[in-house]
């Protein structure tokens, strides 16, 4: 049994907490998977590198509208894959090496293994290789263990074999046909990637639209556009999976009846679940929600004093920028227990890097209606701004919601080129209390540039004053 001042479980955003400010403390870091966490290894970073490649591969499909006749001559999947992981894998290995051997980390011990609580402040770590165990006790813990893909029970799925976002990016070769079970942001992004690289994609959605958590206008538009690029099966539930000769057969049920879909690989992308169960957090007295999320207060502390949590293991957002924010809060509160700060989750933005991009912050129109909040809407289409003409974009738009009395922004939803970038001024305005009129008229907007989409949408909001 080894005692520490602080034990951090997880090496994603949790790893960023332990800086030189903790040099006077004995620290342990525990990681059951690949050093660096989800974002670096199987999430945000590699997927967006794939997405950028897919965006380039998709250009010939629409360049003729601009008078440029292009052709996609070929896709070298091994080169695409190896360029991405040839950069990412060394970063992960380098991070582990730094923690284990750098002189700045003499007070830090890195454990490669799975930690399970066996008492309130006692974590038993089983090594990844060899199965040896070590018991760690600590005055303080930070739970930053992240989440993992949900794998629903579908008869035959386990026996047949499947991929999740953890494995699909390292395929040895591109399949001819890919079946994707799911319709959220992970499914949307991978459908874009593989369809752009020439794979026949069939996306199977239980709901009546893709991205169903987005504003309904955005989700409807995205679903329509996706269906023009690959096969989208709405209101289909996968009920059985098996192999037939060289193919994988997915049996689905829909209002139209039963269907069989033949593919070469299957990607399961139906969501993620917190890793709190793997930690046995209940042993400590830490509370969890029904969906497995660790319960924390505004200081990111659990019900047990001295045990903090951050990121996917406790957050409903499951976003790296949220985990990074919470890590900064936890770090401050560990260093300054008498002057703690609170997390700010008022205006959490997100983006879907599909085709087209989607970005959102704040209330959707449906949420405003459900909560009885008065709102005014301002819209602008990419087709109505000069740079939209340059791109020949006829499908993208911005939709802004504002308080009709004060003009303060309540939400923003964008679908179209570079939506994840174009939305940033709205996030800033909401965070610092800038009203729509002041935002629109109180600054210059570069002409002709894409942010004019936001300027015009702001001006189109009909306020009472």
Say how many Å lie between the first and final Cα of the chain, rounded.
68
DSSP H helical ranges for 263-345? 276-279, 320-335
User: Which of 425, 418, 427 has the alpha carbon at shortest distance from 450?
Assistant: 418
User: Which of 39, 57, 59, 37 has the alpha carbon at shortest distance from 48?
Assistant: 39
The 8-class DSSP code of residue 293 comes to P
- Rounded CA-CA distance 124/10 in Å is 14
Whether the CB-CB separation of 238 and 269 falls below 8 Å is answered with no
User: Which of 252, 280, 286, 253 has the alpha carbon at shortest distance from 266?
Assistant: 252
- Rounded CA-CA distance 180/190 in Å is 8
Which of these is catalytic: 52, 101, 102, 447? 447
- Give the Cβ contact number of residue 107 at 10 Å: 17
Report in angstroms the alpha-carbon separations of 379 from 330, 366, 452, 454, 455.
39, 16, 12, 9, 10
And the tokens for 172? Answer: 């040895």
Instruction: Compute the CA torsion angle 352, 213, 150, 54 (nearest 10 deg).
Output: -20
φ/ψ of residue 286, rounded to 5? -70, 135
Q: Are strands 247-254 and 257-263 parallel, antiparallel or unpaired?
A: antiparallel
User: Which of 64, 78, 237 has the alpha carbon at shortest distance from 172?
Assistant: 78
φ/ψ of residue 231, rounded to 5? -80, 125
User: Which of 130, 136, 128 has the alpha carbon at shortest distance from 27?
Assistant: 136
Assign 308 to helix, strand or coil: strand
Does the annotation mark 163 as catalytic? no
User: Which of 22, 442, 415, 78 has the alpha carbon at shortest distance from 217?
Assistant: 415
- Rounded CA-CA distance 50/101 in Å is 32
Q: Write out the catalytic residue numbers.
A: 447
């Amino acid at each position: 049994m080894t005692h520490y001042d602080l034990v951090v479980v997880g090496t994603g955003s949790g790893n960023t907490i332990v800086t030189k400010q903790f040099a006077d403390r004995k620290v342990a870091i525990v990681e059951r998977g690949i050093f660096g966490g989800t974002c670096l290894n199987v999430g945000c970073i590699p997927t967006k590198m794939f997405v950028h490649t897919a965006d380039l591969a998709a250009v010939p499909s629409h360049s003729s509208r601009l008078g440029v006749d292009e052709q996609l001559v070929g896709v070298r999947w091994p080169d695409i894959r190896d360029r991405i992981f040839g950069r990412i894998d060394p970063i992960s290995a380098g991070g582990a090496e730094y923690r284990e051997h750098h002189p700045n980390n003499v007070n830090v011990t890195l454990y490669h293994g799975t930690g399970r609580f066996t008492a309130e402040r006692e974590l038993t770590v089983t090594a990844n290789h060899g199965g040896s165990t070590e018991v760690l006790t600590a005055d303080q813990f930070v739970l930053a263990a992240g989440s993992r893909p949900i794998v629903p029970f579908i008869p035959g799925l386990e026996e047949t074999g499947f991929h999740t976002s953890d494995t699909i990016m390292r395929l040895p070769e591109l399949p001819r046909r890919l079946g994707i079970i799911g319709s959220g942001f992970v499914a949307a992004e991978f459908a874009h990637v593989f369809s752009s690289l020439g794979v026949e994609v069939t996306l199977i959605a239980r709901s009546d639209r893709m991205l169903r958590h987005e504003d309904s206008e955005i989700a409807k538009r995205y679903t329509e556009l996706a269906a023009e690029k690959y096969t989208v099966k709405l209101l289909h539930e996968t009920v059985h999976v098996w192999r037939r000769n060289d193919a994988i057969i997915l049996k689905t049920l829909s209002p139209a009846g039963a269907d069989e879909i033949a593919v070469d690989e299957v990607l399961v992308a139906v969501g993620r679940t917190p890793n709190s169960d793997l930690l046995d957090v209940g042993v400590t007295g830490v509370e969890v929600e029904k969906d497995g999320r660790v319960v924390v207060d505004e200081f990111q502390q659990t019900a047990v004093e001295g045990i903090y949590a951050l990121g996917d293991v406790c957050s409903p957002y499951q976003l790296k920028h949220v985990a990074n924010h919470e890590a900064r809060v936890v770090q401050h509160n560990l260093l300054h227990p008498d002057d703690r700060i609170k997390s700010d989750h008022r205006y959490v933005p997100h983006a879907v890097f599909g085709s087209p991009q989607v970005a959102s912050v704040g209330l959707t129109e449906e949420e405003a209606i459900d909560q009885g909040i008065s709102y005014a809407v301002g819209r602008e289409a990419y087709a109505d701004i000069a740079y939209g003409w340059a791109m020949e974009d006829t499908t993208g738009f911005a939709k802004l919601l504002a308080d009709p009395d004060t003009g303060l922004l309540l939400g923003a939803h964008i679908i179209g080129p570079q939506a994840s970038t174009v939305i940033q001024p709205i996030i800033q305005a909401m965070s610092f209390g800038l009203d729509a009129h002041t935002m629109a008229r109180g600054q210059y907007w570069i002409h002709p540039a894409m942010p004019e989409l936001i300027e015009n949408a702001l001006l189109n909001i009909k306020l009472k004053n």
